[in-house]
Structure 1
Amino acid sequence: MSNIITVGIIAEGSTDYRFLGGIIRRTFETVAMECATDIDVYSVDPIEVNKTAITDYVFNAAKRADEHGIMVMCVHVDADAETDKDAFADRINPAFDRVQIDKTADLCRNLVPVVPVRMVEAWMLGDKIALKQEMNTTLTDTELGIDRPPERIADPKACIEEAIRHSQKHKTRRHRYELTIGDLYEPLGINAQIAQLVLLPSFKKFQEAVRDAFRELGYLH
């Protein structure tokens, strides 16, 4: 009989859920394969709580997660900078500390930070083959303007939007499809290869945090 992990997530925006839901589940499934026993990862469920200051937001979500039997809660914030240093110091660490210190409430305390540098769209650029497949283009990375390391791109969302424009203008009007970046979040969450994403330092840090969550549950040593 397999053991199970139930996973929840709070994210910054609705589009983030569409991408991160698939990515988080498949990362958990990848780490589960490292365990000595069979682990089933249930669907990654959004945790619905009112958006407030980050420490209250995470605390209230951890309480709701516990009420719903969620074993691991992922917390997404974009670094919005060249590194994740300030995101951890100013947002993640204070929020996580409050959950761990407060012993008066029933809370999900197995927390996993999800902190893309600079924003979640940088992770969407992590597997450029999958990105181009979803854009249905044969243009090169250079022609699309995506030939730089994703975490060094100041505005990865704008970079993807510009790549979409390039991909569309090379098609005949008959074969042109009004693709938008909004069409890419969910399929890339499903199809981007974890093996490519772990080449990004911020994603690698997330994967290591997932391993820590498995260790906390006693599934990984």
Structure 2
Amino acid sequence: MTVHALYLCEGSSDAGLRDHIEAIGAEMGREILVTVPDLDRLPDKPGHSVRDKLQAAQRLSDGGQVYGLVIIHRDSDSNAPELRRREITEAVDEVSPGLAHVPVIPVRMLEAWLLLDQAAIREVAGNPNGKVALNLPKPTRAESEPDPKALLKQAIATASGDKGRRLEKLQKRFPENRARLLQMLNRNGPVQQLASWQAFTQDLREALSSL
């Protein structure tokens, strides 16, 4: 049976996680079709809370697709992951009681997941054969970085070797490059060592097994 899932992400550059969700389902022998609504294009743009996004997604699907699973991305930022998990559960119970849900809670922010593949960073920087040191954290330290987004942006800039206007243009493409890095993420690579990735994939597999 095909599982129709709704994925609510924090920003459009996070949409690439859909491919990994569907691939994990395929590895389990489950077909999962993931819808990623662009809530920012709604006339009444929802707030940033999980509750607001769920309500907006519900309005979009009224009378249409019925979802068996919702996957909700919420960076922990400066909060404990447990607080984000509780926030997600309470919002789902309020807006869509009984709907199976999977939290996606990167520690601090999702960029921490993207800091572990030097080859991918060099590729999106346009300099795949570069050798300059990028000073990226080891997997054991990635989730302790205070600002992984800034670190990733700097790593791409360093890897490119660009200067002046070329560097300015590259920096403006950061959202696109970040989205590409997420699509390129090696699920079997160093990201497996991160607690937040382990929690996400375990929760997803358990949810799919129960449906």
Same fold (TM over 0.5): yes
- 1:201 maps to 195
- 2:70 maps to 73
Query: Would you say the 8 A contact 2:13–2:175 is kept in 1?
Result: yes
Aligned alpha-carbon RMSD (Å): 3.1
Structure 1: gaps spanning 5 or more residues: 103-107
- 1:118 maps to 108
Q: CA deviation at 1:202?
A: 0.4
Please tell me whether residue 60 in structure 1 is matched to residue 47 in structure 2: no
- Residue type at the aligned position of 1:164: I
Q: Relative to structure 2, which stretch is displaced further, 155-164 or 22-31?
A: 22-31
Percent identical residues: 24
Q: Distance in 2 between matches of 1:88 and 1:153?
A: 21
Structure 2: gaps spanning 5 or more residues: none
The DSSP-based 3-state class of the residue aligned with 2:133 is: helix
The DSSP-based 3-state class of the residue aligned with 1:9 is: strand
The DSSP-based 3-state class of the residue aligned with 1:178 is: helix
Q: CA deviation at 1:47?
A: 5.9
The DSSP-based 3-state class of the residue aligned with 2:88 is: helix
- 2:118 maps to 128
Query: Would you say the 8 A contact 1:25–1:44 is kept in 2?
Result: no
Please tell me whether residue 150 in structure 1 is matched to residue 138 in structure 2: no
Q: Distance in 2 between matches of 1:42 and 1:59?
A: 18
Q: Distance in 1 between matches of 2:57 and 2:209?
A: 19
The DSSP-based 3-state class of the residue aligned with 2:16 is: helix
Question: Where does 1:181-192 land on structure 2 (aligned, <5 Å)?
Answer: 181-192=174-185
- Residue type at the aligned position of 2:183: I
Alignment CA distance shift 1:27-1:199 (3 Å)? farther
Query: Aligned residue pairs: how many?
Result: 199
Q: CA deviation at 1:53?
A: 6.7
Alignment CA distance shift 1:53-1:124 (3 Å)? closer
- 1:105 maps to none
